[in-house]
Copies of this chain bind each other. A is one copy, B any other.
């Protein structure tokens, strides 16, 4: 079926937790990460939470001989925190900023300032075009009452859209990063089912790492085990996903993760565990490629119904978010109107005796000014919040519209109408 042209590709992913002056042992950990990367010489290194460009540049210098090609994705106020290093030349880079990413006033969570996004680099491995994606989705701070869930679902939606639409010309696709999604979470199912990406942890025969592949583990000294509750041992939220094409078939030979400590070092690389996947690429003959594509297509047809369910579930979640955002916008508007009414009332109380009696001001001056300042503060804050929530509403409505369209299109495909996606594949076959 396939010829003997086999390429080995080693991919590394780590959330570096690199907040200068705030993350513990930040500088020392970067030094350790640099050592590891220059020693291991992975083909592709995908890092998240490299918040400072200085740290990126420091790594870049350190890896200049082993990984001569790199790209740092910039966005938001602080940056996207995403960096990629490669042994293969990077030819193109493109960034998609998610339309929703938390709230600026939740400064202690900080996600909004991070400008979360998905970055893509295109590189050539031999004669193969690899589209490599790195991303970091909004964190989950409380699983029981997760107010960011609609935002994360929209991010997962946009992530799958971006990958699907930008990978048509790719021979192989790799996505790595901290998805902040458990393996069976809605966003994860949406991503994997829609794009066809395969999870290196479930696909590999040879795994060396923490139990159940968890990447945020209770044994890590930087982790407060209480935050993981009710998952005593930890959770799996970091992934390396991949898929081939009609030209290449990919197998994950082995996957390994760090286990919360590093030999000869007093602390681990990060609060997340690092992933390292060993992929085998096998270039296919034209006939084998056609068989592979046809096989995938049959398989995809069987998954359509599942996809309809998942997108419908996501749509429901987005609708819940929309309801909340609209309520918050309404509250901001109402508070703004109350602030305005208070200001007018204050002016009236101050003005009436003055106008009527030309008497001295009975209103104590200090209170008058303080109340005035309070009213203005309310007006400005509610105005900014109203604008922010309006943007949130628009983004959620936009995602919901796209999901409705997708469900309609999927259902029509189920009924057997000819469609864009299969057509593209048919071209390869015909």
Contact = CB atoms under 8 A, between A and B. Distances in A.
Interface of A: 71-77, 79, 89-97, 99, 115, 120, 122-124, 127-129, 161-162, 165-166, 168-169, 247, 365-366, 369-370, 372-373, 376, 380, 387, 390-391, 394-395, 397-398, 401-402, 405-406, 409, 412, 418-421, 423-424, 427
A277 B412 CA distance: 30
A265 to B, nearest CB: 33
B405 A92 contact: yes
Given A97-B97, A394-B77, A124 B423 contact: yes
A76 B394 contact: yes
State the copy count for this chain.
2
Contact of A124 (B169, B369, B401, B420): B420
B76 A127 contact: no
Contact of A74 (B95, B370, B401, B412): B401
A363 to B, nearest CB: 13
A370 B91 CA distance: 57
A169 B424 contact: yes
A127 B418 CA distance: 8
A90 B404 CA distance: 11
A402 B75 CA distance: 13
15 contacts: A71-B401, A75-B394, A77-B387, A77-B391, A77-B394, A89-B409, A89-B412, A91-B405, A92-B165, A94-B162, A124-B418, A129-B423, A165-B166, A247-B427, A369-B370
A127 B240 CA distance: 35
Contact of A92 (B115, B366, B394, B406): B406
Contacts of A73: 398
Contacts of A74: 394-395, 397-398, 401
Nearest to A246: B427
A124 B123 CA distance: 31
A218 B418 CA distance: 47
A429 to B, nearest CB: 12
